[in-house]
Amino acid sequence: MSFRNISAWAIRNPVPPLVLFVALALAGLISFMRMEIQNDPDIDFPVVIVAISQPGAAPTELENQITQKVEAAVRSLPGIEEINSNVTEGSSTTVVQLAIGTPIDRSVNDVRDSITQIRGQLPEGILEPQVFRVDTTDNDLASYTVSSTNMTLEQLSWYVDNTVTKELLSVPGMAGVDRTGGVSREIRVILDPAKLQSQGLTANQVNQALRQINLNAAGGRAEIAGSEQSVRVLGNAANAFDLSQTQLNVGGGRTVKLADIGEVRDLYAEQRSYATQDGQQVLAFSFQRAKNESDVAVFDGAVAKIAELEKRNPNVKFDLVFDNVKYAKEQYHSSMMAMLEGAVLAVIVVFLFLRDWRATIISALAIPLSAIPAFWFMDLMGFTLNTMTLLALALVAGVLVDDAIVEIENIVRHMRMGKSAYQASIEAADEIGLAVLATTMSIVAVFFPVGLMPGIAGQFFKNFGFTVVASVLMSLAVARLITPMIAAYFLKSKGHQSHGEGKLMDWYMSVLRFTLRHRWVAVTGGAIAFACTIATFAMLPQTFQPETDQDRSTASIEMVPGSTLAQTGAVARQVASLLKQQPEVESTFSRVFVGNANVTAIYKEDKERSSVEFERAIAPQLANIPDARVSFRSQFGGGRDIMVTLGSDDPAKLQATANKLMQEMAGLPEITSPRVNGDLQRPEITIRPRLDLAAELGVTTGALSNAIRIATLGDIDQNSAKFSLSDRQIPIRVALNENARARLSTIENLPVPTATGGSVPLKLVANIGFGAGPTRIDRMNQTRRVTIGADLAPGIVSGQAWTKINQLPTMKNLPLGVNQVVSGMQKWQGELIQSFIIAVISGLFMVFAVLVLLYKRLMPPFVNMGSLLLAPLGGTLALLVTGNPISLPVYIGLLMLLGIVAKNSILLIDFALEEMDKGVDKMTAILDAGHKRAQPIVMTTVAMVAGMVPTALAISGDNAWRAPMGITVIGGLILSTVLTLVLVPGTFSLALGLEKRIAKHGRKLITYKGVEDHGPAAQPAE
């Protein structure tokens, strides 16, 4: 049994194929019901993060003392692709990006060991270095606000941290819960500077004393009265008042009560952030799912838990601010509806052509029998129902019925020649079997390399490419095993009838005869079509990803360095007020931090402008807000629409080049508000020790640092005294009154410990002045980097802006030592485009290999390959008409066009070669191929177009990705089908003539003479 007559075997043995497909359908249904629904596929980013905090430290010191040492320690580890560091006040974060496939657990241990080895070289005042990998998707599923009628803000904050977090983390697949706003409880020891100085004490000494006094500790074991008891030392104060009565040793046999040098209060930590909704301060929390979990299942589980909490505690109310799962649900439902609508339209097309309800039912069966088992294969490969897999299913909705249409149309044609349904099914299926195999394998050949793309892009497109491959291979199996078998037993023969005749066919045959008589017209027409394709590509603007219409937009606020929380909040309120005045906005939600904030505008359901149009219209007003940089966060990577990154080892030259480039970018009409990120200097109070006096008094620089830091901020958490409650420990924060920090004289008179145990005022041993330093420092691969960000002007796509930016004088002539750095989203885009080109070229070679195996001839495969040049023209014309730019989904649509155009030309050329092998002359064989294959080609094209119409219209859900793809496929299908039917036969005729001439001249070089070279026939052994 060969593949050509596998259909005949299925017809004669119908039970095995039926059992096979019932089993596959059941497996597919079970897999479909348990597959996770996600917005984006989970990408296994092998990333290790090293986070080190030193409260109060300036970025410059952190870079020299921590960041550079961390980078040097990890740079030699195997598998490292890129090292990025971000340094801000009190925090150094180094992100180590590893090559795809690197064992992440081993890498985390390697990085942790490297940090442990340099731990002794790091400053004393740092928190313990944290080394971890990213386990969450880094995207919030939803955000809620919490309010209560019988809890204080501190109590409500602990309720969220403790009760709500525990309940939500019990939901399967939940990874983390983050609170925004609120406060954390702590015991505040608010020192009076004058009283502290009068006792000769420092804040550090008070903190150390409390660490030793206020604690419960182990005391060993005793045996009294014949039984064993454990010994506990209970030194923890019962409340803040008891703690204030603690006696502290001040030396010389004297003690002082803590209440005599300061105030002890049960309060909360200094507020450094808060959240507001529509101007009212609220407490909010958000949560993220773990990798390989369902967005929908985790969100629904969280909603159920929150409902239980509300029922259990009616005084606490939860309000949903926004959720990202709504978009994923909409995309899932709209994709499923598009598939069903496309399938129905494709079936209607079959009926309109064949006018046979039995044949229509058989064709309709091919769609569920192909699609449902595909879910089983997707589940086996670990795929989920995400953007990429749903996009693939939408793309193949019309293709799944193609093979069945070709089979059923050929069977109906044989029946109308007077054969019985059984005989027609066997003969027709055997006749077209290899052609159907080759047409399907041409699509597989195009998309299989896409699924094998390397890198991060490959992890996205593995979902897409292999879903298409699994679906079309299942459609091939249905077309070869099920369609002919059901046709043999279900179709009803009605004797001799005309098939595929009519005025359109007569017109086509006359055109075909003309092109066969004037074959160079076909070649010229193909060349003109290819030239038009190049021209339309040049006319269309290009962008990487299409802009999506989102249900909210987020404005990022960057304040002048040195701004307080109150000043930042005032600007956030101004931005929120401006956004709330817009008719599209329903509510606003703000997250305010010291020096920066995010304000999210949540849109109404029936907004008139898209989110992109809204942002472009409002952005100039936000840019005019004084003392702040306000811009909308880009959809692509979270920064701004355009991000130009420069790198150098010379910070001064780097900053000067960035400023010059920013000025040149300001003159481009394609972009708005170009700015250098983090270029503002922050104000600093500088303390320079008087080394001679300090040495005489035994005052070290480290002692100065500790004294000042603890007095103004309090000690770091791991060194703070602790206060034990029944359910947790809270820190005891020893520091000066916040109001005292507002006076420079307070800082000048801070007591600093001396070697003799006494203290002296700070101003005696140090010069105090004012200075400035960088707000933040960004590094990449151990060099400084600076980013210039800008927004796109209305109606402009990124490709147009980048073309102009790359032509700027500074970009064309960067100074020596300064270079453009391609990183982040821009680097990923470059890798994707490169991998995509390699995948397309590989796919074309695989298509050529399929054709050579099918034809076993030299020139016909080149005719098929040449026909692929006709594929893009219709798609690019459709994009021009509809005003869409070239983007990633357009390239995906062009890939599908390559497979379908190859499919159409294979049906024509394979039939002509089959006829010629039977002795029919070339002209008659080509004309007969055009006559008999035009109808199935047109049928499959119209069915595919009908199947793609719901995708192109994208009536429900976001049309940003599906519409450009559908428009490209529909336009390309219609025009390429016409061009294939008209131009390919003439080109094929010319190719056969050329092949004959090559064979004639090449025969002189070949020594093989035929049968006479085989020698005498083998004799049987005696």
pLDDT tens per residue across span 173-219 = 888 888 888 888 888 888 888 888 788 788 888 888 888 888 888 87
- Which burial class, exposed, middle or buried, applies to 373 when counting CB atoms under 10 A from its CB (0-12, 13-18, 19+)? buried
Does domain 637-680+775-822 match CATH 3.30.70.1440?
A: yes
Predicted pLDDT at 137 = 59
Architecture of domain 1-34+356-493: Up-down Bundle (1.20)
Q: Cβ distance 790 to 675 under 8 Å? A: yes
Does domain 47-134 match CATH 3.30.70.1430?
A: yes
CA distance 256 to 249: 7
How far CA 866 is from CA of 449, 851, 872, 984, in Å, comes to 20, 12, 12, 9
Instruction: Residue 576: name the closest of 548, 547, 598, 609 by CA.
Output: 598
CA distance 791 to 616: 8
Long-range pairs, 568-572, Cβ under 8 A, ≥24: 568/592, 568/593, 568/594, 568/595, 568/596, 568/597, 569/274, 569/276, 569/597, 571/597, 571/625, 571/627, 571/628, 571/630, 572/276, 572/597, 572/599
CB atoms within 10 A of CB 489: 11
Predicted pLDDT at 1001 = 66
Encode 600-609: b = buried (16+ Cβ within 10 Å), e = exposed. Answer: bbbbeeebeb
Start-to-end CA span in the chain (Å): 35
Instruction: Residue 472: name the closest of 374, 558, 385, 375 by CA.
Output: 374
Counted residue by residue, the chain has a size of: 1022
Predicted pLDDT at 387 = 80
Q: Cβ distance 216 to 233 under 8 Å? A: yes
Predicted pLDDT at 957 = 53
pLDDT tens per residue across span 680-726 = 677 778 888 888 887 888 888 877 777 777 777 776 667 777 888 87
Predicted pLDDT at 228 = 86
Instruction: Residue 824: name the closest of 41, 88, 47 by CA.
Output: 47
Predicted pLDDT at 24 = 92
Instruction: Residue 473: name the closest of 492, 505, 511, 447 by CA.
Output: 447
- Helix or strand or coil: residue 930? helix
CA distance 609 to 613: 6
Ranges in the chain annotated CATH 3.30.2090.10: 202-260+682-774
User: What does the block give as tokens for 289?
Assistant: 């799912």
Predicted pLDDT at 30 = 93
User: What does the block give as tokens for 4?
Assistant: 């050509």
Give every residue of the chain whose pLDDT is below 50, as ranges: 1022
Residue type, 214: N
Predicted pLDDT at 19 = 92
Predicted pLDDT at 709 = 77
Ranges in the chain annotated CATH 1.20.1640.10: 1-34+356-493, 506-539+856-1008
Predicted pLDDT at 1012 = 58
CATH classification number, 202-260+682-774, choose in 3.30.2090.10, 3.40.190.170, 3.30.70.100, 3.20.20.70: 3.30.2090.10
Torsion angle of C-alpha atoms 101, 105, 108, 114, degrees rounded to 10: -100
CA distance 794 to 614: 10
**φ/ψ of residue 397, rounded to 5:** -55, -40
Q: Cβ distance 189 to 735 under 8 Å? A: yes
User: What does the block give as tokens for 242?
Assistant: 């008891």
Which pTM value belongs to this model? 0.78
Question: Looking at domain 549-634, what is its CATH homologous superfamily?
Answer: Multidrug efflux transporter AcrB pore domain (3.30.70.1430)
CA distance 251 to 553: 61
Q: Cβ distance 906 to 439 under 8 Å? A: yes
Predicted pLDDT at 824 = 63
Predicted pLDDT at 637 = 59
Predicted pLDDT at 304 = 92
CA distance 136 to 133: 9
Name the packing angle between helices 203-213 and 701-712 (round to 10°).
70
Ranges in the chain annotated CATH 3.30.70.1430: 47-134, 549-634
Strand partners, 229: 222
User: What does the block give as tokens for 497?
Assistant: 């009838």
Question: Looking at domain 506-539+856-1008, what is its CATH homologous superfamily?
Answer: Multidrug efflux transporter AcrB transmembrane domain (1.20.1640.10)
DSSP codes joined into one string, 294-347: -HHHHHHHHHHHHHHHHHH-TTEEEEEEEESHHHHHHHHHHHHHHHHHHHHHHH
CA distance 590 to 576: 8
Q: Are strands 185-191 and 729-736 parallel, antiparallel or unpaired?
A: parallel
How far CA 647 is from CA of 561, 654, 656, in Å, comes to 23, 7, 12
